Structure 1
Amino acid sequence: MASTSMVHTDPVAWVTGPRQQSCAAAAPTPVSSTVSGLEGYGRQLDGRTLEEARSFIQRMDYSTTTWQDDDDDTILHIYTAKGLREYAYAAAEKLKELGKLDSKEHKGKTALLVAVAANQPDIVQDLISLGADVGVCDVKGQTALHLAATYGFPRVMQIILFMGLQVNLEARNFEGLTPLHCAAISHSATMKAVAFPSSNPAAWLGERNDKFLCLDLLLNAGASLLSQEIKSNKTLLHLAVKEGNVHLVRYLLSIRPDEMQAIINMKAHGHTALHMAAGLHGSPYQEELIRLLLQHGADPSTRNLENDQPAHLLQSGDTGDKLKLILKRRGTSSRRRITSLQDQD
């Protein structure tokens, strides 16, 4: 066993060499999850390794246990980042006793936020079960949900959402974005990445699906479609249309058709989603997006702050002329319907 002075210099040196190999060779003694409803979700704790880690941590003095390196990482941050689950668990137990479970490193991340960013769902579960603050944010205002949504880690997000905690789905980071906004922006970035020749199709497909699942999890948990990001008041629909993400727009328009009546013509600094679709010059999905929005009640007569209707934002040339006819026909149809209703009154 290494001395505590050695650990103070390098808290993980003792577990990254021969000692780690001997632990791996031993027959594991599983420890069941203590979290109700998530039993068997991830791999079980190795009981033998956990007791060994507990014994080691208990022999540390206070200064070693609470030690932080030049980046303000505690031993818990380091064990978490390395994915050393049993040692992270033992360190978390000890730091909880000392009131330092949510200590932050230089970027404002607690061990829980490090676990989320490192895609360590089992450690995320352990830390939350031990009382880690799921609402804490880093220096950018990002909570655990923001990070899981941005990186596209659905297993991590499931644990955060389904552990029975009061989680703020509408929390804002310092850019004014909710986790749902982050999920949409991240999904759109991945959808665009397929256009690059260097893209790995299999990896891209997996990333796309993971990010979509994160978005779906947030919506099913009750995240609001009406939430507007603070800088420009964009809703989830605005964000998807602006990036030409037709796959996400199709999904949003299909899941809650009743709510779309309140959302479809909402403005973001004067622009409706239809204005944004009209401005997608050169996008292969421009026409489909315009048709989709019109089919779900988008009003082509709405004007932005410059007094422009969507048709005024279209490109010149044959494509623009074709889209103008689509908008004009729908606008005429809408006026006829309104006139008919007025006549009935």
Structure 2
Amino acid sequence: MHFDKSPKEKPCCTLPTVKKLLEQKRRRETSSVSASCSTASTSPAPQTAATQSSSSEPFLGAGASSSYSDMAVSFEQWTPTPESTLSYYSSLPGSNFTPAYSHPMTSEYSQQVMEFGDTMPQTYEPMPVTDPNLDPSWSVLVPSQNAQLSFRPPMDASKLQQARLLLNGMDYSRAIRQDEDGDTILHIYTAKGLRECAFAAAERLRDVNKLDAKEHKGKTALLVAVTANQPEIVQDLLLLGADINACDVKGQTALHLAAHYGLPVVLQEILSSRPDVNLEARNFEGMTPLHCAAISHSVTMKALSSSTQADVSLQSKAAEKLSCVQILLRTGASLLSQEIKSNKTVLHLAVKEGNIDLVHYLLRIPLQNMKDFVNLKAHGHTALHMAAGLHGNPHQEEILRLLLSRGADPSIRNLENDQPAHLLQSGPQGDQLKLMLKKRSASSRRRNVSLQDQE
């Protein structure tokens, strides 16, 4: 940030922007992981691994302007929140963020959300299903209004008072203005994970209607808190009135970012804080948060399958991302939502990537008319067409059988007048799968004729 320079003056020392803070943290974590890991993923997507931050890390870098350096000295002895490296998949649509902080996920939580039928933590209570396409008997479990208070540790009152005093003593214009990158002091505190400082700064900015100020890439402080995986700060900002549906320059809301990076704790904070969160918000790629969660999970599963050895960190991240899919669906995200650009549902997205875990989960959800869902078309292609095109994928046959068992129709033709059987690979395996599809198609025709005769 360069608050005091004139147009022709270049300061000798500058305060890091939010972008630099997040990038520096990612570089430190990446170098730490490289030094400690003995195996590396062969996937083009970077590997994830947990790493602890140094408690002696100063709040702000040397050379900060006087107003901020005074505050930095006062808080430099604080112990930062434990961190872990998060997945960074630049290939995903609408994503140029690099998560800097991570909130550890307990093994109990991971186990609770891995299976569709498992129960959620005791702080959850059944609420009516909001998606009319789901079976009404399927109870959706979402956090109760007061349950989330037990999720986050209480704020330190003395540190909060100290932060407020320092903010009050700071020059007014410095406390509320944005630098040339659009960053406010709240953006910086949030990126650093300094909760009490962020709360005091948010109070000040709220008073001047700048709580949702955006930096040059459209990130509000709330979006920075989500990206940095700071669930406590996320809830604080929402309680203070931050816009829960604010989006960045790529149309990504807090839900999109939490779903994309696989942050279930942050996702729960967002969903439990306010009832007006838009579960079907579209980013500028035409995707809902549920689409983002499904794509991100597929990327991690692909990295996991291409890893030469068992990678615990990738397994953990895959479980977290799958839990984000589950949380969104349990809270009412529509399973039938289609991407605007390609008309794909989450089932199309999962099948196209050969994501057997996600396909298994989606096909166990009790939709009132599963057959219609399975046979939805995306630019003419059903999920069965996409499964037929999974040449060489080890899960192709299993996915085909799963789809057929849930009512997929092998006689449906795409825009090129091809049935799924026409898209299978050549050779013995393709011939075997083609025979399976033809038998199912013939069986369906006989059943339809029998039903017509009965009528």
Deviations 1:22-70 (A, max 9, x none): 566xxxxxxxxxx843222112111111000001111223311123233
Equivalent residue number for residue 204 of structure 1: 314
How far is the alpha carbon of 1:259 from its aligned partner? Answer: 3.5
Q: What is the distance in 2 between the residues matched to 1:57 and 1:267?
A: 56
Match of 1:9 among 47, 50, 65: 65
Spell out the pairing of 1:1-345 with structure 2 (5 A cutoff): 9=65, 12-17=68-73, 19-21=74-76, 36-197=146-307, 201-345=311-455
- Equivalent AA in structure 2 for residue 78 of structure 1: I
CA distance in 1, matches of 2:371, 2:68: 56
- For the aligned residues, what is the CA RMSD? 2.0
Alpha-carbon separation, structure 2, partners of 1:148 and 1:64? 31
Distance 2:193 2:201 in 1: 13
Q: What's 1:28 paired with? A: none
SS at 2:209 equivalent: coil
Once residues 141 and 275 of structure 1 are traced to their aligned partners in structure 2, the CA distance between those partners, rounded to angstroms, is 31
Greater CA drift, 158-167 or 291-300: 158-167
How far residue 200 of structure 1 moved from its aligned partner, in angstroms, is 6.6
Is residue 291–residue 346 contact of structure 2 (8 Å, CA) maintained in 1?
A: yes
Distance 1:200 1:288, change over 3 A: closer
2:167–2:200 contact (8 Å) kept in structure 1: yes
**Cα separation, partners in 2 of 1:206 and 1:334, compared to 1, 3 Å:** same
Q: How far is the alpha carbon of 1:257 from its aligned partner? A: 4.2
Separation (CA, whole Å) in 2 of partners of 1:40 and 1:11 = 35
1: CA distance between counterparts of 2:69 and 2:216?
22
* Deviations, residues 178-229 of structure 1 (Å, cap 9, x unaligned): 0000000000001001133477711111101110111101001100011000
- Superposed CA deviations along residues 116-169 of structure 1, whole A, max 9, x for unmatched, are 000000000000000000000000000000000000000000011112321110
SS in 2 for 1:258: coil
CA separation in 1, counterparts of 2:261 and 2:171? 37
Stretches of structure 1 lacking an aligned partner (at least 5 in a row): 25-34
C-alpha displacement of 1:302: 0.2
Distance in 2, matches of 1:125 and 1:200, equals: 35
Contact 1:193–1:199 (CA under 8 A) maintained in structure 2: no
Counterparts of 1:96 and 1:216 in 2: how far apart (Å)? 34
Residue 31 of structure 1 corresponds to none
Higher helix proportion: 1
The answer as to whether partners of 1:23 and 1:49 remain within 8 angstroms in 2 is no
Letter in 2 for 1:250: H
In the alignment, the residues of structure 1 paired with residue 247 and residue 345 of structure 2 have an alpha-carbon distance, to the nearest angstrom, of: 23
Structure with the greater alpha carbon radius of gyration: 1
Query: Residue type of the partner of 1:13?
Result: S
Q: Report how far residue 86 of structure 1 moved.
A: 0.2
Number of residue pairs the alignment of both structures matches: 331
Q: Distance in 1 between matches of 2:431 and 2:408?
A: 19
Gaps of 5+ in 2: 6-13, 16-63, 80-144
Instruction: Kindly report structure 1 stretches of 4+ aligned residues shifted beyond 6 Å.
Output: 4-8
- Identity among equivalent pairs (%): 61
Residues in 2 aligned to 1:70 and 1:194: alpha-carbon distance in whole angstroms: 41
Q: Which whole-Å CA distance do the structure 1 matches of 2:280 and 2:438 have between them?
A: 38
Which residue identity lines up with residue 399 of structure 2 in the other structure? L
Equivalent-residue separation in structure 1 for 2:309 and 2:278 (angstroms) = 35
State how far apart, in whole Å, the 2-side matches of 1:118 and 1:187 are: 19
**Whole-angstrom CA distance in 1 between matches of 2:66 and 2:393:** 53
- CA separation of 1:117 and 1:124: change in aligned 2, threshold 3 A: same
> Residues 193 and 320 from structure 1, CA distance in 2 versus in 1: closer, same or farther, beyond 3 angstroms?
same
Which digits, 9 at most, give the CA deviation of each residue in 1:288-325, with x for residues without a partner?
01110001100000000000000000000001000001
Measured in 1, the distance between the counterparts of 2:377 and 2:416 equals 13
Q: 1:176 to 1:70 in 2, by over 3 A?
A: same
Return closer, same or farther for 1:221/1:10 CA change in 2, 3 Å cut-off.
Answer: farther
Output the CA distance in 2 between the equivalents of 1:150 and 1:306.
33
Which of structures 1 and 2 has the larger relative contact order (alpha carbons within 8 angstroms, sep 6+)? 2
Whichever residue aligns with residue 70 of structure 2, its letter is: W
Matched residue SS, 1:194: helix
Measure the CA separation in 2 of the matches of 1:314 and 1:135. 43
